[in-house]
Amino acid sequence: MPTPQNEPHQGNLSPTAVAAAGWLMPGAGYWLLGQRQRAITVGVTVLMLFVAGLLIGGVRSLEVPGYGTHGQRTNVYLYRDSHNSDQIDETTGDDLPYADGVWILRAHPLDEIRNKPWSIAQVMAGPLSIAGAFGSVIASEHSPNGGPPLGAKSHARVNEIAVLYTAVAGMLNLLAMIDAAHRAAQEAA
């Protein structure tokens, strides 16, 4: 007789589908395997840890690669200096002899992600983190009347703690995805 923790599921699920479900909704991979209690425990833990990080530091603690502190795209500009050599300016293209801006995620994606490595961990928390990143970019933009940004940026330890909470939530979800996919592969074998 199956226990509530190990209810049988219908058919064999591919490990990839189980991992994808676990990313879309933390704990869903376990749910598909019939491990309801584990699914709820993991899902609630990951979501609450991520939300706690946002409550501590605000949505702007999610620093999105490719975007600056004011919600604008970060561009790379190539220009010639007085010695006729190419120089790169990653801030703005103002007052350059010639400037063709290219979004930094197109020009140097690995460098930009390397500058914000915690964003990789944050994305592992699922679509909630992508929605939060979108909210972070919007909250970083100046208000329509030219005033300060809509959302306040946390600083110092508060920001570090918020980034840590959101990144740990993503890493915990990644571990749960790997475990659920492994369990699916074991059941298929």
Determine the pLDDT at residue 169.
96
Q: How many residues does the chain have?
A: 189
Cα 56 to Cα 159: distance, rounded to the nearest angstrom? 8
Where along the chain do its domains lie? Answer: 4-64+117-188, 72-115
Cα 172 to Cα 117: distance, rounded to the nearest angstrom? 16
Are 150 and 141 a contacting pair, CB within 8 Å?
Answer: yes
pLDDT, one tens digit for every residue, the chain (189 residues): 454 555 555 568 899 999 999 999 999 999 999 999 999 999 999 999 999 999 998 888 888 888 877 778 888 776 555 554 444 545 444 444 445 578 888 878 888 888 888 888 999 999 999 999 888 888 888 777 777 777 767 778 888 999 999 999 999 999 999 999 999 999 887
3-state secondary structure of 153: coil
